[in-house]
C-alpha cells in the first residue's frame, strides 16, 4: 500500500511538472511601446540641417538612405531585394527607394503582401527666411517615413502579421512620384501578390478635435477606411472633401501602386491645409511636429492594420466609381 502511495505521488509530481512546463513554453508576445523619444530621434536626424533638405541625388538624401537602412537592419526588417536599395534613374540623377520586408507567419497568407510606405526625399532648398534656406521636410514627409519605419519595427518584433509586409520608403516623390512609379512597376514585373497599399503622407500634426484623426485620399474608391475603422474600434480615418477637390489620390505615392497593380492603394494624412503653414517651407522643422499626436496615430493604426492583414479573406476591395 505504501508502495502504491509513492507511485501515485511521483505520478502527481510528474503531471504538475508537465503542466507547469506547458504553461512556460506558451509564446508570450511582448508588444513594443511606440515612444516619443524613438520618433524624435529619427525625426531629429532626418529633418536636420545636416541632410540639407534631402533632395534626390544629394549627399543629404544619401545620408538619409543609410540611416533608414541601418534602422531596418537593427530592427530585423530584412531586405526584400538583394539589398535594401531599389535603384533607378531620373535623367542623370541616381535615386534609391529603400525596401524591407517583414515575412508573414501564415504558410498560405504570407504570399500576399501589404505595402506600407512614405517618401523620404524633400525639395532641398526653399525661399530664404531669416538666413535659412534648408527646407528640412519634417512633416513632408519625414513624418510618414518614420510612421512606416515604426510599423515595420513593431511587426518585426511581435511577428503578429499573417500576411507579409513591405516597408517601402520612396525617393524622388518631389520630382513627380518617380520612385514609387519605379517600385510599383518592378513589383508588377516580379509578379508580387500585392493585396493593399497605404502611403503615409504628412502625419506630423494633429487635426482639430472635432475631426477624425486622419483622412484617406480616394476615400470612395474602396472600403479601406471602413475596414480599418472596424478593426480600430473607432473612426480613425474619415472623409475629407478637399482631398477629392484637390485630386490628392493622384498626387502621392499611392497612385502608382493603384495604377500598376490594380489594388486598393491610398494616402493617409493628418495635414488638412488648416493645421500647418509650412508646406515646402524652410520652417518645416522637427520642433514643429506634434510627437504625442504621432504616437497616438501610430498606436491607433496598429490594431487597424493588424486586423486587416490577418483577416482570412481579402476584405478590402476596390469600388466602381
Strands 214-216, 193-200: pairing kind: unpaired
The H-assigned helical ranges of 219-270 are 224-232, 241-245, 254-261
Nearest to 214 by CA among 171, 270, 263: 270
pLDDT recorded at residue 320:
81
- Helix H segments across the chain? 2-25, 36-46, 59-74, 143-158, 178-190, 224-232, 241-245, 254-261, 291-310
Contact status, residue 47 vs residue 286, Cβ threshold 8 Å = yes
Per-residue pLDDT tens digits for 64-85: 999 999 999 999 999 999 999 9
DSSP string, 213-232: SEEETTGGGBSHHHHHHHHH
- For the domain spanning 34-310, the CATH number is 3.40.630.10
**Burial class for 27, CB neighbours closer than 10 Å (0-12, 13-18, 19+):** exposed
Q: Which ranges of the chain have pLDDT less than 70?
A: 1-28, 321
pLDDT of residue 160: 97
Neighbouring-strand partners of residue 93: 90
Residue 238 pLDDT:
98
pLDDT given at position 73:
98
Pairing of strands 193-200, 112-119: parallel
Q: Which residue has the cell 490594431?
A: 303
Q: What is the C-alpha to C-alpha distance for residues 210 and 310, in angstroms, rounded to an integer?
A: 31
pTM flag (> 0.75): yes
Which pLDDT does position 27 carry in this prediction? 63
Where do the structural domains in the chain lie, given as residue ranges? Answer: 34-310
**Which grid cell is 57?**
541625388
Tell me what pLDDT residue 2 has.
46
Phi first, then psi, for residue 315 (nearest 5°) are -75, -35
β-strand pairing of 214-216 with 124-129: unpaired
Provide the pLDDT for residue 31: 83
Amino acid at each position: 500500500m505504501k508502495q502504491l502511495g509513492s507511485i501515485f505521488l511521483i505520478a502527481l509530481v510528474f503531471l504538475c511538472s508537465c503542466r507547469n512546463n506547458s504553461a512556460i513554453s506558451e509564446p508570450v508576445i511582448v508588444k513594443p511601446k511606440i515612444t516619443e523619444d524613438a520618433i524624435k530621434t529619427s525625426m531629429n536626424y532626418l529633418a536636420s540641417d545636416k541632410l540639407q533638405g534631402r533632395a534626390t541625388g544629394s549627399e543629404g538624401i544619401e545620408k538619409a538612405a543609410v540611416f533608414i537602412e541601418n534602422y531596418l537592419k537593427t530592427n530585423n526588417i530584412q531586405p526584400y531585394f538583394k539589398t535594401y536599395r531599389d535603384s533607378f534613374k531620373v535623367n542623370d540623377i541616381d535615386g534609391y527607394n529603400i525596401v524591407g520586408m517583414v515575412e508573414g507567419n501564415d504558410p498560405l497568407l504570407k504570399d500576399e503582401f501589404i505595402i506600407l510606405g512614405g517618401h523620404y526625399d524633400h525639395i532641398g532648398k526653399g525661399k530664404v527666411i531669416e538666413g535659412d534656406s534648408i527646407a528640412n521636410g519634417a512633416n513632408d514627409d519625414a513624418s510618414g517615413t518614420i510612421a512606416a519605419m515604426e510599423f515595420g519595427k513593431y511587426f518585426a518584433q511581435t511577428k503578429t502579421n499573417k500576411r507579409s509586409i513591405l516597408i517601402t520608403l520612396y525617393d524622388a516623390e518631389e520630382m513627380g512620384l518617380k520612385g514609387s512609379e519605379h517600385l510599383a512597376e518592378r513589383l508588377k514585373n516580379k509578379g508580387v501578390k500585392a493585396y493593399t497599399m497605404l502611403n503615409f503622407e504628412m502625419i506630423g500634426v494633429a487635426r482639430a478635435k472635432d475631426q477624425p484623426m486622419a483622412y484617406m485620399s480616394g476615400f470612395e474608391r474602396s472600403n479601406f477606411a471602413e475596414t480599418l475603422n472596424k478593426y480600430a474600434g473607432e473612426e480613425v480615418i474619415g472623409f475629407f472633401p478637399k482631398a477629392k477637390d484637390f485630386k490628392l489620390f493622384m498626387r502621392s505615392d499611392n497612385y502608382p501602386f493603384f495604377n500598376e497593380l490594380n489594388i486598393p492603394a491610398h494616402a493617409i494624412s493628418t495635414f488638412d491645409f488648416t493645421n500647418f503653414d509650412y508646406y515646402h517651407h524652410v520652417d518645416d522643422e522637427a520642433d514643429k511636429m506634434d510627437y504625442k499626436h504621432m504616437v497616438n496615430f501610430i498606436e491607433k493604426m496598429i490594431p487597424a492594420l493588424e486586423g486587416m492583414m490577418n483577416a482570412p479573406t481579402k476584405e478590402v476591395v476596390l469600388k466602381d466609381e
